[in-house]
Amino acid sequence: MTSLGSSSSSATEYTVRVPKNTSKKYNIMAFNSGDRVNCSTWTQARMERDMSARRIYGEEETQEGAAGSEFGKKQREEARRKKFGIVTREFKVEDQPWILKVNGKAGKRFKGQKKGGVTENASYYIFTQCPDGAFEAFPVHGWYNFTPLAKHRTLTAEEAEEEWGRRNKVVNHFSIMLQRRFREQERGEDDEDEGEKSGKKKKKGGGRGGDLRIHDLEDDLEMSSDDSDSSMGDDGESKTKAKKPTGKGKGKKKRKSNEHEALEDSDDGDYEGLEVDYMSDESSSDDEPEKGKPSKGEDLPKGIDEASESEEESEEEKQNEEEAKEEEEEEEGKKTPVQVEKKKKKDSSGESDSSDDSDIEGETASALFMKKRTPPKRGGGRGSAGSSRTGSRPGTPSIDSASTSNTLRAAASKLEQGKRQPQPATDSPAAKRLKMEPSSQSPAPSGKSTPQPPSGKSTPSSSDVQLTEEAVRRYLIRKPMTTKDLLKKFQTKRTGLSSEQTVNVLAQILKRLNPERKNVNDKMHFYLTE
């Protein structure tokens, strides 16, 4: 090694040697930068060729002399292939990928695929510095790109296709892998591993393996809404996370909450779309605009919902929705954007099942958005509250209550208010009751400030339709209508009344008219015959 000193630079010279007689073939093991592989942390490594492709190339040997074999079959097959020009590539061991196992059984696994075309136009050399200072250059024989292998269970292509088709129906995505494991267990494949893994997952899922057990879910429903509250906000993102099977500890919690969310969400979503909400929006415009964005968003879809609701909902459901609405209001603040969507999609859920396989997002409703029957427990639990509220129709529209802020406290106080003012329970059909109920609570807790001018509240402005007994009578004579239909006729914008007022007045009118009832399409219709 000679060192040269020169004026502006200092240079050291080293000789380069290209050893001739190396028995070793050098290869490059390239990792992806994102994988953050640090070779110095490896304590132990094993590497072997991945020979799984051999059976594709090698002909399947039917046993000589076994039943079903033909004389000279091989030759015939070969001749046939040649005739058709089918050229099968030779199976070269050199080109097979490597399987690298680091740190034993619990460590990482990598698959190294050979990169082609490396030695075609330029040659790569590895320069190492020897102890004597000279460089030695070794030619690179091959280049392998090593990628980490997933250790968790993955779905096969067919299964993945299947699940994709069902993605809108399936609520709990974590269960997909569990069920797969169950299936495998039954088939008796690879038992210990499976059992371990499924056991782990079961523990983590907190008995989520009881996907097969329905009552599990119902148990969860009983859990306080607080639980779901905390994770409500993460609704969107947790769902995407759910799909990654790597979610373990986190996954567990989110899994649970997902289920709650899912069910409760859908329940709440159902109850949201009450016509009363729409009316209440009007009244709440008097309030300070509380939640600007989320509530605004809710107005429009609510309106749409209202329009389509008369076709769908039964009054029974309405009642249940009412009761659960209370709960929903509590959670309002945290999940309004989700609710917006839900309302939109609620009614389309029925029709959209057929378009399962379409990839268009947002059009088909997810199971989360589907209307679900209220679990009886909840209905029962709320029943008492509801009935107390039923009788709590305030004489005057509770404008004051409307002005309270959208908080749990507000809702609770509302309830109390309602209870404190017992009203003669009307013997009118449930519809009326429902209307009255939300009217008492809806204004404030819903906290929806509407962009509509507050003026409409005080005095009926000049409009086409007046909410009079005469008008109602006219309608009912013409054809049977549900309460919702009637309400639609007397839209708050036109009558100038607040939604609450409309409801009250309409109820009174109906009481006076005492129309006859008829059940059409499971809905209670009123009509008069005169």
Partner 1 sequence: MSDKTEVNLTGVKQSKGLWLVKVPKYLSQQWDKAREKGEVGKITIGKKQGKTEVRFSLNEELTALGAVGEMDASLQVPKDHPFTMHAVGGQTMAVFSQSDTDEISLEGTVVHRAECRPVVDDNYMKLKKLQIKESTKPQRLSQQLERAITTVFKPVANHDFNVEYEKKKKSEGKMVRAERQVVLDMLFSAFEKHQYYNIKDLVDITKQPVTYLKELMREIGTYNSKGAHKSTWELKPEYRHYQSAEEEEEMQTA
Interface with partner 1 by CB under 8 A: which residues? Answer: 4, 6, 8-20, 23-33, 35-40, 42-52, 63-72, 100-101, 121-129, 135, 137, 139-141
Shortest CB 145 distance to partner 1, Å: 10
Least distance from partner 1 to the Cβ atom of residue 155, Å: 24
CA 333 vs. chain centroid, Å, equals 19
Report how far apart, in Å, the C-alpha atoms of 62 and of each of 80, 82, 325 are.
18, 21, 69
In the complex, least distance from residue 10 CB atom to partner 1, rounded to whole angstroms: 6
Nearer to partner 1 (CB atom), residue 128 or residue 230: 128
Reduced to 3 states, what is the DSSP secondary structure of residue 430? helix
State the nearest-atom distance from the C-beta of 347 to partner 1, in Å: 51
Q: Which is nearer to partner 1, 44 or 354 (CB)?
A: 44
How far apart are the C-alpha atoms of 319 and 10, rounded to whole Å? 90
Rounded Cα distance, 321 and 437, in Å: 11
Instruction: Decide whether 11 or 214 has the Cβ nearer to partner 1.
Output: 11
Give residue 343's identity as a one-letter amino acid code. Answer: K
* Dist. CA 260–CA 506, nearest whole Å: 38
Say which residues have a Cβ less than 8 Å from residue 494's Cβ, sequence separation at least 6.
463, 464, 465
From the CB of 346, what's the least distance to partner 1, in Å?
48
Rounded to 10 deg, the angle between the 315-346 and 376-390 helix axes is 110
Q: How far apart are CA 251 and CA 177, in angstroms?
A: 13
Strands 98-102 and 523-527: unpaired
Beta bridge partners of 481: 526
Q: Are 185 and 376 in contact (CB under 8 A)?
A: no
**Residue that has been written with the tokens 């001749």 in this structure:** 79
| Closer to partner 1 by Cβ: residue 31 or 182 | 31
| Nearest residue (CB) to partner 1, 1 versus 157 | 1
Closest of 254, 265, 178, 189 to residue 221, by C-alpha: 265
The residue (of 121 and 396) whose beta carbon lies closer to partner 1 is 121
Cβ 57 to partner 1 shortest distance, Å:
15
Nearer to partner 1, 124 or 182 (CB): 124
The rounded radius of gyration (Å) of the Cα atoms in the chain is 36
Cβ nearer to partner 1, comparing 57 with 127? 127
